[in-house]
Amino acid sequence: MYRKIGEGEVNETTNISQVVEQIVAEKGTVQKSVIPILQAIQEKYNYLPEEALKKVCELTEITPEKIIGIATFYSKFRLEPAGDHRIKICVGTACHVKGAGLVYDAFKRHFNLKGNEETDASGKYTLEKVACLGCCTLAPVVQIDDVTYGHVASDKIANVINDFESQVGKTGRRKGLFRTADGEEFQGEIRIGLGSCCVASGSAEVQKAVEQTVEGTGVNIQLKHVGCVGMCHQVPLVEVIPKNEKPVLYAKVKPEDVKNIIGTHFKPAGLFDKMKNGMYNFFEKVQTDQVWEGVQRFSIDFREEKVSDFLDRQIPIATEHRGVINPLDMEEYKSYGGFKAQYISLKRLDSEQIVQKVFDSGLRGRGGGGFRTGLKWQMVKNQQSDIKYLICNGDEGDPGAFMDRMLLESYPYRVIEGMVIAAKAVGATHGYFYIRAEYPLAVRRIRQALANCREHHYLGENIMDSGFSFDIEIAEGAGAFVCGEETAMMASIEGNRGFPHIRPPFPAEKGLWGNPTLINNTETYAQVPYIIREGEGKFNAIGTATSKGTKVFALAGKINRGGLIEVPMGITVRQIVEEIGGGVQGGKKFKAVQIGGPSGGCIPASMYDTPIDYESLIQAGAMMGSGGLVVLDETDCMVDIARYFLSFTQNESCGKCTFCRIGTKRMLDILEKITSGKGTKNDLEELKYLAGWTQKGSLCGLGRTAPNPVLSTLKYFHDEYEAHIEGRCPSGKCKDLIRYHITDDCIGCTKCAQKCPTDAIKFEPHKVHVVDTEKCIKCDACKQVCPVEAVEIVSP
């Protein structure tokens, strides 16, 4: 119907007014409500309409200066409308080394986007690069709205879009996610992974298939959800535990495999016929399922695989009972010793004793710095104040790290228990979970877990009748890596731009709203219940002289078995890569492992036996960081890796201090010059000079550690820098320094010519094809599609 534009605007405005009023009524009118308010508005409109922001200023104490300052600080917020669907291309480390850049370029070509354009002409899709989605083992990963695609190759974009279009609208129909039944009747149990990697790889579909298969067959099994098993390289995972039989773990399961799996273990009469049909369907599908060519939203095959190597060297403490307990099942958590430590701490120990135990355990902060946890608790405990805060730092932003995400998703009660114990120890009155925006599943789980805890008196007033009261709320991040820095995080919780602040005063002295505040990393809290329950001595007995206990790492990159691992301190890099990770993928040569993400460094092959502990890593020029561990092989260019990490920190710099704001940008400029082959010897000197000053002069940890990836690669891979200055990229990664060439092995199948987006390869059946280097945009599509590996990369 015809509507006058003027009226439309009025309607729109009143609409916005009403919506904002409702949001404000729900989220509050004080400064700290600003981020939740903005999130709610964006949720509603897909962006932040100016009208809405003005209305917020009208209704709350939030000033225009604050609201714009915040809306433009956090990368999640948009001030311009976006397309109906948002395509997020993960550019985390693992994705980067597996070609996320090429995937991004391919999407841009697909939608015909020029320059800085992000939304396609139809306004349907908006493209964006996002920091690590934490599905590193599925790299490269692309998320369209809430559907995650793994192993996306640059020549499979159309398939991904087609699949997404076929999925639109289906996502809301996932029902019956949970089945409760009488355990006694079960013939066995089927466990389905519910970590982000599993969910992303289609575990929900697998579950549906299980439900459908079992329906009406008379097979009585318990379907159970478990948290992340850590074997993210094999997702989705299904573990079958027949009654009185050995459990079997199936990896990379797809829905159509389910019938076969169930049939193998459960054979009631009457199922056999169905199974036959099922098998038939299965093979038929395998042969016709062309749409799925290469797009591993579900995996290609399923097989039984012994995974003991992966698990044997690990000691689960933060990840205790992994793959066994349902993240949100409180009874189950209790049956495995959950809340016992909380009970001991609240009922039997005084705060001094708790602090002493944690001190004696030797636990050090798992967020990167490695500060003695007991000492930190002592500092906060000693402060005289009626109000004390406690924060769980779950703002894991390192590209290539997903420990916090997994711990929050899979062991929410354990983290909460650790926090309650810490609260009792330091006398905290109120707690916060600070969880980054990219982890919606973690937020949902924690929210539910908190509600369950309150209901069962593990949280809130007079916890477990101990007389101790403490509650926790969630503060969601909005896309700012710097908020992992504790002073910036507090600024963010208070409802400000995430600008870090000089220390001292330390949060322990003057933290949130000027009150003493304890901030520990998620993993640190997750290890506390074990220490209290099993005794500090047991924890202390694990590890090295100065680094005690275990550390959780996210193992990703060019590795056979990536995933989440928890290993004793002191284990060597070699042991992790070779024994747990099963060595480098594709039989390639190990080149280095990047530890600690953008604040860390690379440990080269020559130092393969470096033990993993705080001091050894620092000495090697890396750092524990939050625990990202990305394996690099001979095809990875170390200058490109340095440039990659620096572009990350440069992009995440808050912009407050000169050295970080401009220093990282200038270093990046120089690195880009070098990787494009225009660098000079003098550029290397200037790079070192800037790295030195950025390290010494920056205000916070982000800036101070930003040069580490550059310095460590300069140290161990100086020859690669020199090669670039001479115009060569030895690994064949840097676009400006390579060209594509087709060798005589070419069989003239024309696949490359068909895939080439720029007609750089002429369609010549049965002839050796030729790449026109003038037209070639180095998208790698030809190399990926060639069946005989006749496409090679040449660098002079």
Q: Backbone phi, then psi, for 188, in 5-degree steps?
A: 170, -170
**Nearest approach, Cβ of residue 21 and another protein (Å):** 19
For residue 49, count other CB atoms closer than 10 A to its CB.
21
The window from 182-190, 624-632, 659-667, 717-725 that contacts another protein (CB under 8 A) reads: 659-667
**Nearest approach, Cβ of residue 169 and another protein (Å):** 36
CB closer to another protein out of 123 and 692 = 692
Per CB under 8 A, the list member of 540, 651, 750, 758 interacting with another protein is 651
Per CB under 8 A, the list member of 43, 65, 184, 465 interacting with another protein is 65
**Nearest approach, Cβ of residue 705 and another protein (Å):** 15
Per CB under 8 A, the list member of 268, 655, 727, 796 interacting with another protein is 655
CB closer to another protein out of 299 and 650 = 650
151 in Cβ contact with 233 (< 8 Å):
no
189 in Cβ contact with 221 (< 8 Å):
yes
Long-range contacts of range 4-13, CB-CB < 8 Å, 24 or more positions apart?
12/51, 13/51
Cα–Cα distances (Å) from 502 to 225, 506, 603, 698, 783, in that order, read 45, 8, 31, 10, 50
CB closer to another protein out of 142 and 480 = 480
CB closer to another protein out of 65 and 744 = 65
Told to check if 504 binds another protein by CB under 8 A, we report yes
Strand partners, 604: 592
Query: 704: which 2 tokens?
Result: 């101070």
Residue 204: CB partners within 8 Å, gap ≥ 6?
A: 174, 177
**Nearest approach, Cβ of residue 66 and another protein (Å):** 7
Q: Backbone phi, then psi, for 85, in 5-degree steps?
A: -120, 140
761 in Cβ contact with 770 (< 8 Å):
yes
CB closer to another protein out of 372 and 501 = 501
Told to check if 492 binds another protein by CB under 8 A, we report no
Told to check if 706 binds another protein by CB under 8 A, we report no
The window from 37-45, 60-68, 206-214, 534-542 that contacts another protein (CB under 8 A) reads: 60-68
Told to check if 69 binds another protein by CB under 8 A, we report yes
**Nearest approach, Cβ of residue 670 and another protein (Å):** 6
**Nearest approach, Cβ of residue 592 and another protein (Å):** 27
CB closer to another protein out of 703 and 730 = 703
**Nearest approach, Cβ of residue 606 and another protein (Å):** 30
Told to check if 91 binds another protein by CB under 8 A, we report no
Told to check if 462 binds another protein by CB under 8 A, we report no
Per CB under 8 A, the list member of 665, 688, 728, 739 interacting with another protein is 665
Per CB under 8 A, the list member of 2, 502, 587, 787 interacting with another protein is 502
Per CB under 8 A, the list member of 68, 464, 770, 777 interacting with another protein is 68
Measured between alpha carbons, how far is 600 from 622 in angstroms, rounded to an integer?
A: 4
For residue 345, count other CB atoms closer than 10 A to its CB.
29
Element (H, E) at 471: strand 471-476
Told to check if 223 binds another protein by CB under 8 A, we report no
Strand positions, DSSP E, 501-627 = 517-521, 550-557, 563-568, 590-595, 601-604
Measured between alpha carbons, how far is 81 from 63 in angstroms, rounded to an integer?
A: 23
591 in Cβ contact with 367 (< 8 Å):
no
Contacts with another protein in 505-564 (CB under 8 A)? 505
The window from 174-182, 280-288, 499-507, 546-554 that contacts another protein (CB under 8 A) reads: 499-507
**Nearest approach, Cβ of residue 27 and another protein (Å):** 20
Per CB under 8 A, the list member of 113, 226, 475, 657 interacting with another protein is 657
Query: 725: which 2 tokens?
Result: 């200055």
**Nearest approach, Cβ of residue 471 and another protein (Å):** 31
Per CB under 8 A, the list member of 27, 156, 225, 656 interacting with another protein is 656
**Nearest approach, Cβ of residue 497 and another protein (Å):** 6
Told to check if 81 binds another protein by CB under 8 A, we report no
The window from 38-46, 243-251, 377-385, 691-699 that contacts another protein (CB under 8 A) reads: 691-699
Per CB under 8 A, the list member of 124, 444, 696, 715 interacting with another protein is 696
Query: 76: which 2 tokens?
Result: 């999640």
Contacts with another protein in 321-350 (CB under 8 A)? none
Told to check if 670 binds another protein by CB under 8 A, we report yes
Measured between alpha carbons, how far is 633 from 592 in angstroms, rounded to an integer?
A: 7
Peptide bond into 236 cis (omega under 30): yes
# residues near another protein by CB under 8 A: 45
205 in Cβ contact with 198 (< 8 Å):
no
Told to check if 443 binds another protein by CB under 8 A, we report no
Q: What is the DSSP letter of 576?
A: I
CB closer to another protein out of 314 and 664 = 664
Told to check if 686 binds another protein by CB under 8 A, we report yes
The window from 62-70, 244-252, 320-328, 333-341 that contacts another protein (CB under 8 A) reads: 62-70
Per CB under 8 A, the list member of 652, 730, 746, 784 interacting with another protein is 652
What is the β-pairing status of strands 430-435 and 389-394? parallel
CB closer to another protein out of 109 and 673 = 673
The window from 187-195, 234-242, 688-696, 733-741 that contacts another protein (CB under 8 A) reads: 688-696
CB closer to another protein out of 429 and 651 = 651
Element (H, E) at 249: strand 248-251
Peptide bond into 242 cis (omega under 30): no
Told to check if 128 binds another protein by CB under 8 A, we report no
**Nearest approach, Cβ of residue 672 and another protein (Å):** 9
Residues in the chain: 796
The window from 58-66, 227-235, 240-248, 557-565 that contacts another protein (CB under 8 A) reads: 58-66
Q: What is the 3-state secondary structure (H, E, C) of 301-365?
A: CCEECCCHHHHHCCCCCCCCCCCCCCCCCHHHHHHCCCCHHHHHHHHHCCHHHHHHHHHHHCCEC
Q: Measured over all CA atoms, what is the biggest interatomic distance in the chain, rounded to whole angstroms?
A: 83
- Spell 293-317 as b/e; 16+ CB within 10 A means b: eebbbbbeebeeeebeebbebbbbb
Nearest to 563 by CA among 267, 282, 195: 195
CA angle (593 as vertex; 591, 597 as ends), nearest 5: 140
CB closer to another protein out of 193 and 516 = 516
643 in Cβ contact with 679 (< 8 Å):
no
Per CB under 8 A, the list member of 518, 577, 632, 654 interacting with another protein is 654
For residue 532, count other CB atoms closer than 10 A to its CB.
26
Told to check if 678 binds another protein by CB under 8 A, we report no
The window from 82-90, 192-200, 424-432, 652-660 that contacts another protein (CB under 8 A) reads: 652-660
Measured between alpha carbons, how far is 395 from 702 in angstroms, rounded to an integer?
A: 13
Residues in contact with another protein by CB under 8 A are 50, 53-54, 63-69, 72-73, 480, 497, 501-502, 504-505, 650-659, 661-666, 669-670, 673, 686, 689-690, 693, 696-699
